[in-house]
């Protein structure tokens, strides 16, 4: 017999208790942009701000899921409750999370102190960041001590998701020139801690030295993230990594940076979501208005310049004037 749907009050009380069914339902509402999710988060929002959110990013295949599983094990041994949000590419067939709830995390599925959820992009990258924020807030309100936000790579959508984390762990793997190139391309501006996983690899020490050399380029020693070697499958280096993450939290808190980051991240996310929704509104309006569609065609024919078209679209859709008319 099918279960009865939970009411709003049941969902609110269930999330507060950390009930898995209520959490799963609430996050599904957020993913599907159900109006009920807005009401839930609005009511629970004053109770958030207690969990420590760690963004875990890095190129695909470096062992992020394995390392998170090892960190979850470490956290649980210390009596901490944990949430994991894994952001996956969407399946072109189901529009769900292609990789599902990560295999390496399966050991924790039955642990009542751990809640794991995979989220797919569903073809809407901006919507993914919005849903991830809602999920983080719901896990926060449920009393989770730590939440890991895992992304599949280091593209724009992943950076948006990582933007809501309190601290960022960048995971790299020896023998991958792409990883070092990624560092040189600017990802070094993101992490608070760097883990080089698969420390038994012959090139591990070489990569450690390479990363140290890149980190040393930052003229401010305080901004240079610690670099650790780990072997996630055997748990080697994981206790030291956990201690480093804990130390990072303490340092950020004592310096006032943690609260400042949270304030900055929340404002940034509000603006990002508002921008995404405004763009969707503009695209829908253009698709439904033959005149605006023809205006874009005129730009393509070089009969109307781009900024004139922008002013006309903004005026028509948002009721304002663009910069060119200011």
109 and 173 fall within a common domain: yes
> Is 139 part of a structural domain of the chain?
yes
Alpha carbon 53 to its chain's center: 9
Phi/psi at 171 (nearest 5 deg)?
Answer: -105, 130
246 and 300 fall within a common domain: no
Q: Is the dihedral of CA 186, 190, 193, 196 positive or negative?
A: negative
Gap between the Cα atoms of 179 and 177, Å rounded? 5
Per the rule left: phi > 0, alpha: psi between -120 and 50, beta: everything else, 143 is left
Q: Which pairs count as long-range contacts for 32-37, CB under 8 Å and 24+ apart, including other chains?
A: 33/127, 33/130, 33/131, 36/8, 36/11, 37/134
pLDDT band for 69, please (50, 70, 90 cuts).
Answer: very high
> Is 241 part of a structural domain of the chain?
yes
66 and 156 fall within a common domain: yes
pLDDT band for 322, please (50, 70, 90 cuts).
Answer: low
Looking up tokens 């339902």, which residue turns up?
25
Gap between the Cα atoms of 239 and 318, Å rounded? 53
| CATH for 113 | 3.40.50.300
pLDDT band for 108, please (50, 70, 90 cuts).
Answer: low
* pLDDT tens-digit map of 185-218: 655 567 899 999 989 988 898 889 888 888 888 7
pLDDT at position 93 over 60: no
Q: How many CB atoms lie within 10 A of CB 32?
A: 12
Among residues 225, 255, 285, the one where a domain terminates is: 255
> Is 99 part of a structural domain of the chain?
yes
pLDDT band for 59, please (50, 70, 90 cuts).
Answer: confident
> Is 107 part of a structural domain of the chain?
yes
- Given a contact cutoff of 8 angstroms between Cβ atoms, the answer to whether 190 and 223 are in contact is no
251 and 134 fall within a common domain: yes
Predicted local distance difference test score (pLDDT) of residue 148: 96
212 and 299 fall within a common domain: no
pLDDT at position 101 over 50: no
Of the candidates 166, 236, 160, the residue with the CA atom closest to the CA atom of residue 198: 236
Gap between the Cα atoms of 220 and 241, Å rounded? 22
97 and 66 fall within a common domain: yes
* pLDDT tens-digit map of 218-262: 777 778 899 999 999 899 999 999 999 999 999 999 999 999 999
Among residues 204, 229, 255, the one where a domain terminates is: 255
Of the candidates 162, 156, 154, 160, the residue with the CA atom closest to the CA atom of residue 180: 154
Per the rule left: phi > 0, alpha: psi between -120 and 50, beta: everything else, 18 is left
Among residues 201, 227, 255, the one where a domain terminates is: 255
Gap between the Cα atoms of 307 and 15, Å rounded? 48
Show the tokens assigned to 177.
């020139």
Phi/psi at 306 (nearest 5 deg)?
Answer: -55, -45
* pLDDT tens-digit map of 16-40: 999 999 999 999 998 888 888 999 9
Strands lying side by side in the sheet with 114-120: 114-120, 82-88, 146-151, 52-57, 167-172, 193-197, 227-230
Gap between the Cα atoms of 306 and 256, Å rounded? 44
> How open is the CA angle 239-240-243, to the nearest 5 degrees?
85
191 and 303 fall within a common domain: no
> Is 55 part of a structural domain of the chain?
yes
74 and 219 fall within a common domain: yes
If one counts the domains in the chain, the total is 2
Q: pTM of the entire structure? A: 0.85
299 and 242 fall within a common domain: no
> Is 179 part of a structural domain of the chain?
yes
Gap between the Cα atoms of 136 and 149, Å rounded? 8
> Is 261 part of a structural domain of the chain?
no
Share of residues in the chain with pLDDT > 70 (%) = 80
Helix H or strand E segment including 112: none
> Is 80 part of a structural domain of the chain?
yes
Distance in Å from the first CA to the final CA of the chain: 62
DSSP letter for 116, please. E
Q: Which domain holds residue 247?
A: 47-255
138 and 99 fall within a common domain: yes
308 and 185 fall within a common domain: no
For residues 57-83, average pLDDT = 91
Of the candidates 144, 115, 146, the residue with the CA atom closest to the CA atom of residue 16: 144
């Amino acid at each position: 017999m099918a279960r009865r749907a939970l009411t709003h009050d049941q969902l609110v009380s269930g999330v507060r208790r950390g009930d898995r069914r209520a959490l799963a339902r609430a996050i599904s509402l957020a993913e599907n942009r159900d109006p009920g999710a807005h009401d839930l988060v609005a009511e629970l929002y004053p109770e958030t701000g207690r969990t420590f959110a760690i963004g875990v990013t890095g190129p695909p295949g470096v062992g992020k899921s394995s390392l998170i599983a090892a960190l979850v094990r470490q956290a649980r041994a210390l009596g901490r409750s944990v949430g994991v949000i894994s952001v996956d590419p969407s399946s072109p067939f189901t529009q769900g999370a292609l990789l599902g709830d990560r295999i390496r995390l399966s050991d924790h599925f039955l642990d009542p102190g751990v809640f794991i959820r995979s989220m797919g992009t569903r073809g809407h990258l901006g919507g993914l960041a919005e849903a991830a924020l809602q999920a983080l807030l719901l896990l926060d309100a449920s009393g989770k001590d730590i939440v890991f936000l895992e992304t599949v790579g280091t593209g724009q959508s992943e950076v948006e998701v990582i933007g809501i984390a309190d601290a960022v762990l960048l995971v790299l793997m020896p023998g991958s020139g792409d990883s070092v190139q990624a560092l040189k391309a600017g990802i070094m501006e993101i992490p608070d801690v760097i883990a080089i996983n698969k420390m038994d690899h012959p090139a591990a020490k070489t990569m450690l030295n390479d990363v140290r050399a890149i980190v040393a380029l930052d003229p401010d020693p305080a901004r240079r993230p610690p670099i650790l070697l780990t072997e996630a499958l055997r748990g080697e280096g994981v206790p030291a990594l956990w201690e480093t993450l804990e130390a990072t939290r303490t340092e950020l808190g004592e310096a006032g940076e943690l609260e400042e980051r949270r304030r900055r991240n929340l404002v940034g996310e509000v603006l990002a979501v508002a921008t995404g929704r405004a763009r969707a509104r503009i695209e829908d309006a253009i698709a439904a208005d033959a005149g605006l569609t023809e205006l874009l065609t005129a730009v393509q024919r070089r009969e109307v310049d781009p900024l004139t078209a922008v002013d006309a679209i903004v005026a028509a859709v948002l009721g304002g004037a663009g910069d060119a008319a200011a």
